[in-house]
Chain A
Amino acid sequence: MLIRATQTPQDIELARFRFRVGFAAGVVVLAFSLLLGRFVFLQVFQHEYYTTRAEDNRISLLPLPPNRGMIEDRNGVVLARNYTAFTLEITPSKVGNLEQTIESLGELVEIQPKDKRRFHKLIEESRAFESLPIRARLSDEEVARFAANRYRFPGVEVKARLFRQYPLGPVGAHAIGYINRINKTDLDWIEEKEQSSNYKGSEHIGKTGLEKSYEFQLHGETGYEKVEIDAGGRTVRSLSRVAPISGGTLTLTLDIGLQEMAEKTFGDRRGALVAIEPSTGGILALVSTPSFDPNLFIDGIRSEDWEQLNNSPDRPMINRAINGTYPIGSTFKPFMALAALETGKRTPEQTFFDPGFFTFGGNTFRDEKRGGHGMVDMYKSIVHSCDTYYYALANDMGIDAIARFMKPLGFGSKTGIDIDGESEGVLPSPEWKKRHYKRPAQQKWFAGETISIGIGQGQNDYTPVQLAHAVATLANDGVAFRPHLVKYITDSRTGEKTMIEPKPLRRLPWKKQNVDFVKKAMVGVNKEGTGARAFGDAAYASGGKTGTAQVFSLRGANYNAQRLRQELRDHALFIAFAPAERPRIALAVLVENGGFGARSAAPIARLVLDYYLLGKQEKGPAREDEAAVDSDDESRE
């Protein structure tokens, strides 16, 4: 800055002032340069990044949950379907005072205490921002009443939802299963299966039965709607849409007519029945009584319903057909006979004198028929169910040979049926004992134990489906198919059918004449033996075998079914296949505490076969054959 000679103090002051103004101007330019630098950085160098961020802000993908696939029986009868209904839903995070809101809602829409309890249970199990139903299936009037008052209830909505429905209720419930709301465990499972993105909008998942085991096929593919949302998360407009793909339809091997009538034949008795088509392994009926109504579970079961199901002494939630294990009694004998023929331990003609008991190592094993059957050959041993014959046979064969023969028949291992919850059961053998027991003293196999194995008692412990599977394999001349419930799955888009099976699991190398002989003897059972009372007048030839499984060991005392407490009575069993020449159906029936097989299980089998082969409709429980009590069938230790 130039300072002239004539400068006054004011001039000096002014010069200093102007310098300061200049300094301030410099600061201004500097500060604005800083801003400009920031703008260049954000708008040029980071432009793409922030454009993406802005797009992420405004675009939201709304999952469009698919319709769950239907389930129908082999004849197209619908077993599980969906229907639309209105629900009243609350999003807890959007509601200030939840109790107050529910109270006020109760004035418009009927909300019972049980609805409230269920809702509170749902809250505990869900995330706060989820929309949770407090009332399902609103009436039109209720929907209208709420709509008029909607402004009073932020966070409360009426939604049209698809509901699962099982039109036949308890019929086949154990096979079909049910769906319920997704919980934490399910979420973990979904994640483990890497299906998380496909379940974004889903609220339900199969919990048991086919609904569970075919979950991914039934679920379908979730679609997406790309929407523009504002800062409040409200949808402004739709940008694009990928439609969901409905789940596939399951067509079952199950014949629901057969299933329903079979269930009815049990009346109020507990038990199980498995009927299999021998040539495919397709399950025609899978009965476990008592059953339950799967419709109760769909939107979270009410606690009182749950308690009732859970605390019932009849245990309706247990699928006895695949989960229950039982000694199978004399129904084991035909397989033992076949084992004897295949291993060469016996010929059909070889006779044996039955004095009515068998002694081994100082123990006496008695035959049911006092005084014994006299001279017995193999045919007679099956037809009249001679215990002593099989005591001796088991002893001759030895436990290892028995186990070796029974294992490929499926005894003591899971059949691989396409629903969860199957038990393995126990095929007794020295190895099994070693695996099962810890203490060395218990691990040892005693030769005496082998004796009762021969008549299906002792450690023998099998599921009804294993037994039915073995009967089907026998009926099918040793060609084993995996028991299965689903025949094919129909793709909802293409209509393409994916067949399940039937490829033979294995072909057992049995001699034709041996198999034919055992089958002939089983036909004899129903013609002239222990099954004759139930099947003697049937219009078709069938093979069968009665069985009684001990629940309670009487240790030589006299068995009096009348006096014995009901739950300690023996389980009644019956196996059958028909028609004898070309079997179309093989089955195993078990009636818990039913006493003699001929008395309560065989009549059930007869009704089921009549229905399936002749179309005979007998709706109602099978009568017990009181007179069959004294059949020469059963055995005591």
Chain B
Amino acid sequence: MSMLPPTFQAFRRRLAENIDGPLLTVALAIMAFGLASIYSATVYASGRTVAQLLNLGAGLLAMWLVAQLPPQKLMRFAVPLYVVGVLLLLLVFPLGIKVNGARRWLSLGFTRIQPAEILKIAMPLMLAWYFHKHEAMLKIRHYVVAGLLLAVPFALIARQPDLGSAILVGAAGFYVIFLAGLPWKIIFGMIAAGVAAAPFIWSMLYDFQRRRILTLIDPTTDPLGAGYHIIQSIIAIGAGGPFGRGWLQGTQTHLEFIPERHTDFIFAVFSEERGLVGNSILLILYLLLIARGLMITAKASTLFSRVLAGSITLSFFTYAFVNMGMVSGILPVVGVPLPFMSYGGTALVTLFLGIGILMSIRAHRMLVKQ
């Protein structure tokens, strides 16, 4: 390295500044599995792998930029980002582009965005900011206000309808409230209320959402309709066996029995070709990612950065658990991608933004105290 000119050495140092090696390494390792699986899933329609590499580039850039910002600066984005996000969510209803019966997208002319995606970052940011502002004098009413701040976008997203994003946004918000010290009494009270309200929630769900839940309970009731996806992905996982059928060898994948192969159901592709061994390695990688995130969380200096880091980290868990649970048939089918594996630019950039925030919090943990 000493052979390199001093300017390059400086550039390298600047580039590595605030970047957390373990976090990036684990994320990239998962990405590597993801890219291989995307290649396998789209082998007859090439281009996806390259596109995902470009998405990765964009994600890394976003990560790097955010990592350079100290958390105080991030805090400033909290309210505007949240307000803009909610406004855009409101705009989706009259102006959104309807795809498969759901309005999730807004056209910006040159591109289109999913406002729900903004909330995945804006929600924990907003709530973290809110609790930080009222630190040391937190009363029940603050939790109630936080709950309302969470409920509005959650309801808007759920009505689009986009149950997957609603769950992710809701979970991210809930983690903040939980880590900010929501009393256990209330938590258990809410669980009890939730169980009691289940029939009411059921009545509010859309038909297709209900069907998804019903087919989860017994996929065979509708083997050619809603249950088909789940049955096929479970077959793929089971057929993978202990060691997998080998890369590019999965018949469920290559004969197109697995639906949404390169996006939401990429885990079935991976699982068929890599088997239990691959699954275990993937689980360990996610655990390492979460563990590193929680370490950063535990060591963060302010309430804001603590609950934000915790929420983001636990969101990664939510993504991974809900997705793998859904693909392996123990959770209902909701549109949640597998983090760093599933194809998709927006989701990937959002994920790397989260990683960037974690890095920023780690890098700046001492600054606040000093």
Contact = CB atoms under 8 A, between A and B. Distances in A.
- B interface, how many residues as a size bin? 35 or more
Interface in A1-32: 9, 13, 16-18, 20-21, 24-25, 28-29, 31-32
Nearest to B330: A38
A299 interface: no
A24 B240 CA distance: 31
Contacts of B297: 21
Contacts of B251: 54-55, 57-58, 228
A129 interface: no
Nearest to A50: B238
Interface in A220-234: 228-232
Interface string A29-44: 1011011101110111
A144 interface: no
Contacts, number: 125
Contact of B294 (A9, A24, A228): A24
Contact of A50 (B234, B283, B294, B310): B234
Contacts of B241: 43-44, 47, 51
Nearest to B244: A43
Contact of B179 (A20, A25, A49, A236): A20
A49 B234 CA distance: 11
B287 interface: yes
B222 interface: no
Contacts of B178: 20, 24
A25 B310 CA distance: 10
Interface majority SS (helix, strand, loop, mixed), chain A: helix
A503 interface: no
B368 to A, nearest CB: 12
Nearest to A53: B235
Contacts of B232: 57, 231
B44 to A, nearest CB: 10
Contacts of B235: 50, 53-54, 57
Nearest to A31: B321
B314 interface: yes
A50 B280 contact: no
Interface string A173-191: 0000000000000000000
A229 B255 contact: yes
B317 A47 contact: no
Given A21-B294, A39-B279, A47 B239 contact: yes
Closest 4 CB pairs of A and B: A50-B238, A54-B239, A230-B255, A47-B241
Interface string A51-70: 10111011000000000000
B328 A39 contact: yes
A552 B136 CA distance: 122
A108 B324 CA distance: 53
Nearest to B181: A16
A46 interface: yes
A516 to B, nearest CB: 78
Nearest to B309: A21
B245 to A, nearest CB: 9
B266 to A, nearest CB: 15
Contacts of A47: 238-242
A449 B353 CA distance: 111
12 contacts: A24-B310, A32-B286, A34-B325, A39-B237, A42-B238, A42-B328, A44-B276, A47-B241, A49-B238, A54-B236, A54-B251, A230-B257
A236 B257 CA distance: 13
Interface in B137-164: none
Contact of B255 (A17, A43, A58): A58
B298 A53 contact: no
B236 A232 contact: no
Contacts of A35: 283, 321, 324-325, 328, 330
B330 to A, nearest CB: 6
A44 B242 CA distance: 6
Given A21-B298, A230-B255, A43 B238 contact: yes
A21 B136 contact: no
Contacts of A55: 251
Nearest to A49: B238
Nearest to B252: A54
Nearest to B283: A32
A24 B178 CA distance: 10
Contacts of B124: none
Contact of B275 (A32, A43, A54): A43
B255 A57 contact: yes
B290 interface: yes
A232 B238 contact: no
Contacts of A231: 232, 255-257
B287 A43 contact: no
A9 B239 CA distance: 55
Contacts of A16: 181
Nearest to A9: B136
A51 B255 CA distance: 15
Contacts of A230: 255-257
A32 B314 CA distance: 13
A51 B243 CA distance: 13
Contacts of A54: 235-236, 238-239, 251-252, 257
A17 B128 CA distance: 14
B299 to A, nearest CB: 10
Contacts of B18: none
Interface in B206-241: 232, 234-241
A55 B255 CA distance: 11
B292 to A, nearest CB: 12
Given A21-B310, A58-B251, A43 B290 contact: no
A28 B287 contact: yes
Contacts of B325: 34-35, 38
B87 to A, nearest CB: 32
A41 to B, nearest CB: 9
Nearest to B306: A17
B291 interface: yes
A51 B238 contact: yes
B131 to A, nearest CB: 11
B360 interface: no
A25 B136 contact: no
B314 A24 contact: yes
A227 to B, nearest CB: 11
Most chain B beta-carbon neighbours within 10 Å: one of A21, A39, A228, A236: A39
A593 B106 CA distance: 90
Nearest to B291: A25
Given A18-B298, A47-B239, A57 B287 contact: no
Interface string A99-128: 000000000000000000000000000000
A40 B181 contact: no
Contacts of A13: 136, 181, 303
B341 to A, nearest CB: 14
B238 A53 contact: yes
A43 B237 contact: yes
B271 interface: yes
Most chain B beta-carbon neighbours within 10 Å: one of A20, A46, A231: A20
Given A35-B283, A54-B238, A55-B251, 13 more contacts: A13-B136, A21-B294, A21-B310, A24-B314, A35-B321, A36-B280, A44-B276, A47-B241, A50-B234, A51-B238, A54-B239, A228-B255, A230-B257
Given A18-B298, A57-B235, A232 B181 contact: no
Contacts of B317: 28, 31
B163 to A, nearest CB: 19
A445 to B, nearest CB: 68
Nearest to B179: A20
A60 to B, nearest CB: 11
A454 B175 CA distance: 110
Contacts of A228: 251, 255
Interface string B235-276: 111111110000000011001110000000000000100011
A51 B275 CA distance: 12
B279 A43 contact: yes
B302 to A, nearest CB: 10
